[in-house]
Amino acid sequence: MRRKDFLVFIFLTILIVISLAYWLSYIEIPKYSKRFIRLENVDKEKYDYVKRITNNPIFKNNKVEFYVDFINWQSTVDIRGNIFINYGTLNSPCLDFTIYHELGHLQDGVRDDQIKADYFSVAVLGPDKTFDCVMWLFNRSKGRLGWYTRLDVYARLFAIKNGLKSKEDFERYMTNDMLKE
């Protein structure tokens, strides 16, 4: 009986020590996990380049923070005005497109309208470069996109080629086209 109590005591002590170590390792909670590092700390030159793009007067929101994302193959944006650039994209010829597109998402009324976000790139870089970069992004996905997202990509490519500026534009175009037949 005493021996059993002792073993329970040892077991509980080990458990408490492990929990304490686990808890202590989380005491310094960073703003973001190591997956994200501020762009200026990764590549100062690219940071200055990206900041120059941000200063384009077509963007109303200039209070944007840039992070490098070392895991996700796509670049993303959050509602707080942070842009997460995929590391591979940082060193690609489509960095400018990516920045225009993601900054586009942060403008009023764009949200998840990919066609509207693309249009910010079209306005500055032109339809050909934007088209090539959406294709480039599609190829980068290496089949990781679901069929719905694939349809979204086709819609984006079609919209760029035909000068459509938003999802509503695209839907209107498709509906009118179908009604004509």
Chain residues that interact with Zn ion, rule: CB under 5 A: 114, 117
Q: Judged by CB, which is closer to Zn ion: 36, or 119?
A: 119
Q: How far apart are the first and last CA of the chain?
A: 88
* Rounded-to-integer distance, Cα 133 and Cα 104, Å: 15
Nearer to Zn ion, 114 or 166 (CB): 114
Residue 144 CB, nearest approach to Zn ion (Å): 15
CB-wise, 36 or 104, nearer to Zn ion? 104
User: Shortest approach of Zn ion to residue 75 CB, angstroms?
Assistant: 8
The per-residue b/e assignment along 61-92, b for 16 or more CB within 10 angstroms, e otherwise, is eeebebbbbeeeeebebeeeebbbbbbebbeb
For residue 76, the minimal CB distance to Zn ion (Å) is: 8
Side chain identity, residue 4: K
